[in-house]
Structure 1
Amino acid sequence: MTKAVYLLLLFFFTLFSCQAEKNVSKYPDTVGDISFDEKLDEAGFEKCGKGKGIPFSFQYYHGPKMFLYKGEKIAIVEKLKKENIYSEKKINGYITVRFLVNCEGKTGMFRLKHMNSDLKDLALDEELENKLLKFTKSLNGWMPKEIEGLKVDYYQYLTYKIEDGKVSEVLP
């Protein structure tokens, strides 16, 4: 009988020790979260929300005002015209730069996506993409988003519509 008790105890011990393993998710906290990548992101850039008990970052469209840039989108378009960024190649498509604006108005965690005119994932022109990424990183007029009196982190994006190698429109 004692062998049976020992076997039973061993069985329960094994069963409960397996249950105690911590599940680590390979998925982000919320859909669309950008994970920090030491190869792409500045080490000093920090999200502010977690320190305030907010476990996620908002999207640009949350809250009363959707576009929070000093001078609005027109200021970005005017600065882009002055930069005269274009491609020698007569390409058409879209280049989207998505990033995080923290509660201090600082930007980081930039990610790039490119599509042809048919919205298929296709590299257009690496040099143009790098120029537009550098331009987007240089924009320093982003303002913190405020929701219910609290400054929060939020994701923003700029999509550059490319026609014949030139930026014809900035979205949103």
Structure 2
Amino acid sequence: MKKRNLLKTLLYFSVIIVIIAIIGITFMYYFSFGRFETDEEQFPHYVGYINQEKALLNDTYTLCGDRSIYKTHHGAPDDAFEGGKKQFKNFILSNYKNDSYTDSGYLNFRFLINCEGNAGWFEIIEMNLDLEESPLNKSMVKQLLKLTSDSKNWAIFSYKNQPRNYYMYISYRIENGEIVEILP
């Protein structure tokens, strides 16, 4: 009986050692060969980087603390909207006025929200429906920038019980001057 328990223990121990060895070899392989090289010259910044010197509305508010930006890889759609996305969408659609705009395409805003819930540091990307960069009506863009940047739309994001600066993006799909979809 003792011999059987000893064999069982040795078997479990051997399986654990093999699993640890496989994990170790996998990590060594990844860090030696499997990881893609980053072209630091072509891509000098992190995902979600916004040049704070060139961004629109960069002088209205200040970033808090050490100016670190959270949620840079995907934005903060679940945490960002004050009152939820439905309230944001209702605000935009009820305040947007189509002044005979005929443009169709996507209007994308990438921006930062500081620890006080103030939106600024906007980067704007305008595209046609084929996703090619193409200018949209300046008045329409200005109107949507004003609506999007309204601070009552944005929540304060906290991490470790501290309010933080974070990254966000909004894309408007526009057809014949009308907003048909707001992403995310």
The answer to whether the aligner puts 1:36 opposite 2:52 as a matched pair is yes
Q: What CA deviation, in whole Å up to 9, does each residue of 1:101-125 have, x standing for no partner?
A: 1122121111211100000000021
For structure 2, list consecutive stretches of 5 or more residues without a partner in the other structure.
1-40
Structure having the larger proportion of residues in helix: 2
Q: CA deviation at 1:49?
A: 4.2
Q: Deviations over 1:16-63 (max 9, x none)?
A: xxxxxxxxx997653332222378334352222416xx4x44327478
Report what 2:72 is aligned to: 59
Q: Distance in 2 between matches of 1:102 and 1:121?
A: 28
Verify the 8 A CA contact 1:28 1:35 in the aligned structure 2. no
* Alignment match, 2:116: 104
Match of 2:64 in 1: 48
Secondary structure in 2 aligned to 1:121? coil
If the length of structure 2 is used for normalisation, what is the TM-score? Answer: 0.66
Q: Write the mapping of 1:8-87 to structure 2, written as runs, cut at 5 A.
A: 30-37=46-53, 40-50=56-66, 54=68, 56-59=69-72, 61=74, 66-87=78-99
The equivalent residue for 1:151 is 163
Q: Are 1:85 and 1:167, in contact at CA under 8 Å, matched by a contact in 2?
A: no
1:68 and 1:144 in contact (8 A); partners too: yes
Kept after mapping to 2: 8 A contact 1:87/1:125: no
- CA displacement 1:106-156 (0-9 Å, x = unmatched): 211112111000000000211111111111122423112223433321111
Could you tell me which residue of structure 1 aligns to residue 148 of structure 2? 136
Structure 2 contact 115–163 (Cα < 8 Å) conserved: yes
Output the CA distance in 1 between the equivalents of 2:46 and 2:150: 28
Whichever residue aligns with residue 50 of structure 2, its letter is I
Distance 1:86 1:68, change over 3 A: same
CA RMSD of aligned residues (A): 2.8
C-alpha distance in 1 between matches for 2:99 and 2:133: 18
Change (3 A) 1:62 1:165: closer
Structure 1: which 5+ runs fail to align?
1-24
Equivalent position of 1:162 in the other structure: 174
Query: What CA distance in whole angstroms lies between the structure 2 residues aligned with 1:62 and 1:132?
Result: 19
CA distance in 2, matches of 1:159, 1:96: 4
Identity %: 28
Secondary structure in 1 matching 2:66: helix
Relative to the length of structure 1, the TM-score reads 0.70
Tell me: CA distance 1:152–1:123, structure 2 relative to 1, closer, same or farther (3 Å). same
- What is the number of equivalent residue pairs in this alignment? 144
